[in-house]
């Protein structure tokens, strides 16, 4: 049978919303997970042919085609509502792991209902409100944080690069915040300006800090700071 690159109207109507996988035919590895309806599953293939855009997903498709093979398209679940498709897609992305996929973002609401350990479930739904008495800067890293990160990895995403003024020097500690909960606390030793490696890099006025895990503030880890943080700004000073 020739490669199918389009569904008929009849098939589209019966499929409803679905969750699909793109697989490498040589290794059998899933490299992309998506959801959609109609002929959404084929749009990536057509985009790789027609579009000059560079992305991990399109480059993977082009590489497969250049080797004389065809991307394997798999419908994982169909006959779903859009809400159901979002949930199945998110669950699959969490299960496979974003690091092994060419997806740019995690699934729908994964930050709240995604894969969690028992400890993380308790933290998520029963985190105690904490009172911060030390001069600290709260740094929200929702876009960078992933569950299971080491202290070293949390340190790297917390320390910079941030647009901060002189007030930064009053903060003795930096608290890493994800979903309104303290994930780690660091003692700040020094702030230094970020030097741009390229002229177009947006690093002007941005700072990073050096420091260590604050052993005397570990009682804050797992606590809620929702009353301190704002809706937009990722940085919030407390007692500074």
- Residue 112 tokens read as 């709240």
Which of 207, 125, 227, 132 is CA-nearest to residue 172? Answer: 132
pLDDT range class, residue 134, cuts 50, 70, 90:
very high
CATH number, residue 36: 3.40.1440.10
Is the same domain home to 97 and 181?
A: no
Whether residue 2 lies inside any domain: the answer is no
- Lowest-confidence region among 74-78, 165-169, 171-175, 195-199: 195-199
For the segment 43-49, the average pLDDT, to the nearest whole number, is 74
Residues 122 and 194 in one domain: yes
- Do residues 95 and 187 both lie within one domain? no
Question: In this structure, are 123 and 215 located in the same domain?
Answer: yes
Of 111-115, 118-122, 188-192, 218-222, the least confident: 111-115
Q: Domain for residue 33, yes or no?
A: yes
Q: Is the pLDDT of residue 214 over 60?
A: yes
Taking only Cα atoms into account, the Rg of the chain, rounded to an integer number of angstroms, comes to 22
- Whole-number mean pLDDT of the chain? 86
Contact 79, 16 (CB under 8 A): yes
Considering the domain architecture, whether residues 75 and 98 belong to the same structural domain is answered as yes
Q: Are residues 76 and 160 in the same domain?
A: no
**Residue 199: both structure tokens together:** 């002229």
- Give yes or no: residues 129 and 220 share one domain: yes
| Residue 4 domain-assigned (yes or no) | no
Q: Is the pLDDT of residue 159 over 90?
A: yes
**Whether residues 122 and 233 fall in one domain:** yes
Q: Report the C-alpha gap between 216 and 185 in whole angstroms.
A: 9
Asked, for residue 138, whether it belongs to a domain, the answer is yes
Mean pLDDT of 99-123: 66
Specify the pLDDT at position 49.
Answer: 64
Residue 147, pLDDT score: 74
pLDDT of residue 53: 66
pLDDT band with cut points at 50, 70 and 90 for residue 189: very high
Which has the higher per-residue pLDDT, 165 or 54?
A: 165
Q: How remote is the C-alpha of 220 from its chain's centroid? A: 24
User: Averaged over 225-230, what is the pLDDT?
Assistant: 86
Instruction: Note whether 206 and 153 are same-domain residues.
Output: yes
The answer to whether 216 and 175 are in contact (CB under 8 A) is no
* Any domain includes 98: yes
Is it the case that residue 45 has pLDDT exceeding 90? no
State the total domains in the chain: 2
Last residue of a domain, one of 113, 136, 170: 113
pTM: 0.59
Range(s) of the domain holding residue 73: 9-113
């Amino acid at each position: 049978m020739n490669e199918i690159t389009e569904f008929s109207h009849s098939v589209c109507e019966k499929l409803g919303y679905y969750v699909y996988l793109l697989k490498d035919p040589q290794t059998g590895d899933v490299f992309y997970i998506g959801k959609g309806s109609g002929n959404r599953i084929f749009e990536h293939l057509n985009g790789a042919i027609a579009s000059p855009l560079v992305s991990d997903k399109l480059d993977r498709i082009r590489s497969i085609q250049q080797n004389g093979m065809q991307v394997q398209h798999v419908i994982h679940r169909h006959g779903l509502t859009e809400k159901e498709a979002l949930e199945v897609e998110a669950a699959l992305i969490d299960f496979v792991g974003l690091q092994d996929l060419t997806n740019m973002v995690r699934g729908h609401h994964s930050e709240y209902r995604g894969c969690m350990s028992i400890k993380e479930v308790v933290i998520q739904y029963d985190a105690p409100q904490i009172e911060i008495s030390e001069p600290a800067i709260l740094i929200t890293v929702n876009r960078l944080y992933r569950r299971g990160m080491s202290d070293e990895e949390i340190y790297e995403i917390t320390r910079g690069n941030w647009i901060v003024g002189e007030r930064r020097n009053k903060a003795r500690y930096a608290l890493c915040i994800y979903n309104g909960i303290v994930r780690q606390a660091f003692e700040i030793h020094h702030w230094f300006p970020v030097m741009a490696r390229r002229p177009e890099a947006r690093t002007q006025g941005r700072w990073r800090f050096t420091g260590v895990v604050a052993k005397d503030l570990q009682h804050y880890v797992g606590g809620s700071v929702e009353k301190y943080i704002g809706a937009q700004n990722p940085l919030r000073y407390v007692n500074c």
